[in-house]
Amino acid sequence: MEPIKDWNFFLQNSRRDFDATLHQKFPTNISVKDFEFRRTLGTGSFGRVKLVKWLKNDKYYAMKILEKGKVVKARQLEHTLNEKKILQSIKFPFIVHMEFGFMNNDYVFFVMPFVCGGELFSHIRRFGKFEESQTKFYAGQAILALEYLHYLDIVYRDLKPENILITENGYLKLTDLGFCKRISGRTWTLCGTPEYLAPEVILSKGYGKSVDWWSMGVLIFEMSSGRAPFTASDPMKIYEKIVAGKYKMESYFSPDLRDLLRHLLQTDLTRRFGNLKKGVNDIKEHRFFQTLDWIGLVNQKIAAPFIPRIKGEGDPGNFEVYPEEPIKESPVEQYPKEFSEF
């Protein structure tokens, strides 16, 4: 990717590039026989992500494998089609993209670059918490990624440490775009992770891009303290705390961090940063980010505070170990009508 010199010019061109590739269909000349399957990197309700080697070029990729039957029965077909369209059209350094995809009778396969540093969640747990300078480095990238998505009218809706990967050079990539949706106004779908849901989602009021800035506040809080601000054993108790905006700052938070969090974890949408007249610039120009070089950051010119340990190409050592499941192949194509748009 060419270095970004003018941020606004980059965003304007991004919309054109995104729209140009949005409706491409999967190629028909690729199959599972073209890959060597390695370890599972993660699992979800409808499938899993596996480390694979493409035999055509001997390169390693992360392959998201979604079982058609589970997607349809869980009424996640629209989400899956949205994810496919967005993954194939995204071109941003801090968001994963799809190199290509294909289907067989039972599954949909998204083939993406292998991000070898593991989940941000694992590194927060290992360090306990991040220093504020480190939080600033990671939060800055997530903010730019959300600004890029929002410029394309996409709301992310699932920002959390488990959905952020660390690259080999210590930078970030947002992953798992299954809840992404392109909207022009408001949407009402209840989706996301309980601890990260914005009040307006819980209250079914209809919501827009403001939910991502609330989640950004939760993420910054968790990176800085090692815990989420709203926790309880019962999800309903979590929701009550979120709607009331009840959380306790850590005593060691700096005044600038405290002020930023108050403006992001703001239940009043007319006062939440990211949702006001200046948009994301209220966040980027806040005192907490005063020393951050945003253009240097997006061009990855700033030294990362942490470089993950990687033994070599295709090393899955930064990911947890999961039980493996075989990939089945039915003789008859499953749900051909439902997946015709892929």
Q: How many Cβ atoms are within 10 Å of 302's Cβ, its own excluded?
A: 16
Query: What is the secondary structure of 287-337 as a DSSP string?
Result: GGGTT--HHHHHTT-SPPS------STT--TTS------PPP--SS-SSTT
Cα dist from 80 to 72, 112, 135, 251, 329, whole Å: 10, 15, 31, 42, 20
**What amino acid positions are annotated as catalytic residues?**
158
Q: Which long-range contacts (CB under 8 A, 24 or more apart) does 34-40 make?
A: 35/63, 37/63, 37/327, 38/314, 38/316, 39/316, 39/319, 39/321, 39/322, 39/324, 40/322, 40/323, 40/324, 40/325
* Single-letter amino acid, residue 6: D
Closest residue by Cα to residue 270 from 192, 323, 210:
210
Cα dist from 234 to 62, 200, 201, 240, 295, whole Å: 34, 19, 18, 10, 42
Q: How many Cβ atoms are within 10 Å of 144's Cβ, its own excluded?
A: 22
61 DSSP β-pair partners: 52, 113
The first and second tokens of residue 185, run together, are 């106004």
Burial level of 109, CB count in 10 A (0-12/13-18/19+)? buried
